[in-house]
């Protein structure tokens, strides 16, 4: 048996794709202007989410943005700053639910449209058994800007079917959790679908189909940070720069065009 989790707004109270924006800026991968423009789009993402079309647009813009970046550098930055950037955004309710499934003997899998390099770190932090995430092409240690696998929509459902075949999961007895209607195919593959912090379309579908709905409200650190002040600053800045996945990249590119 298994429990399949979406990541953004389901396990963490933000977008994983640009949770490390400040750190990338300090390392020279993005400019302060780009980081500011991303923060402006953050409110839109948190309030309204993303449609399938917006996700596809963001996918292309994100892939173009990271072209030329060093895979090793991205992993190093993310690993070094994980505990004060992403940890404070993890829902306590999600952490407890993951523990519940592990205690019940279930495998726990994250399926996310964010890049594998980032999702794997979060998975390791939570003791996740497996991660399925978007795969970016890498040549000579650098991102090319091409996508090898985009973990969204039907691709998540297909990944679940493959995992079930490989590991013998009973999908009729398994669980799936997500906030977004783009993940309806994922929830439809299991016998116990749960809408977590659902967007409008997901909530409508869940009510029509009699699915369980859960609301997670309590993102807290997995351990006590050394400084309360540091936690507040880290969480606030992280929240300000995570909007790239929603459209911040578009704003950044618009800014480049305007200054050209």
Active site residues: 6, 8
Distance in angstroms (rounded) separating the CA atoms of residues 256 and 260: 6
- Distance, C-alpha 91 to centroid of its chain: 13
- Tell the residue number behind the tokens 């400040």, with chain if given: 22
- Do residues 238 and 219 lie in contact, with contact meaning Cβ atoms separated by under 8 Å? no
């Amino acid at each position: 048996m298994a429990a399949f989790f979406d990541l953004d707004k389901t396990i963490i109270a933000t977008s994983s794709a640009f949770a490390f924006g400040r750190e990338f800026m300090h390392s020279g991968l993005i400019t302060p202007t780009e980081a500011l423009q991303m923060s402006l789009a953050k409110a839109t993402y948190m309030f309204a989410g993303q449609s399938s079309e917006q996700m596809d647009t963001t996918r292309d813009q994100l892939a173009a943005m990271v072209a030329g970046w060093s895979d090793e550098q991205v992993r190093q930055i993310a690993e070094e700053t994980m505990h004060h950037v992403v940890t404070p955004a993890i829902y306590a309710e999600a952490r407890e639910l993951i523990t519940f499934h592990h205690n019940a003997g279930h495998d726990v899998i994250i399926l996310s449209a964010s890049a594998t390099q980032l999702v794997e770190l979060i998975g390791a932090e939570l003791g996740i058994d497996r991660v399925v995430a978007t795969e970016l092409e890498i040549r000579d240690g650098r991102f090319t800007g091409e996508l090898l696998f985009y973990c969204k929509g039907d691709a998540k459902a297909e990944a679940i079917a493959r995992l079930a075949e490989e590991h013998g999961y009973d999908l009729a007895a398994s669980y799936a959790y997500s906030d977004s209607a783009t993940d309806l195919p994922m929830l439809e593959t299991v016998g116990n679908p749960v809408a977590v912090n659902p967007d409008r379309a997901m909530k409508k579908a869940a009510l029509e189909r009699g699915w369980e709905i859960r609301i997670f409200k309590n993102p807290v650190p997995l351990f006590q940070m050394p400084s309360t002040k540091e936690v507040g600053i880290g969480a606030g800045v992280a929240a300000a720069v995570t909007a790239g996945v929603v459209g911040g990249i578009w704003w950044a590119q618009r800014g480049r065009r305007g200054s050209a």
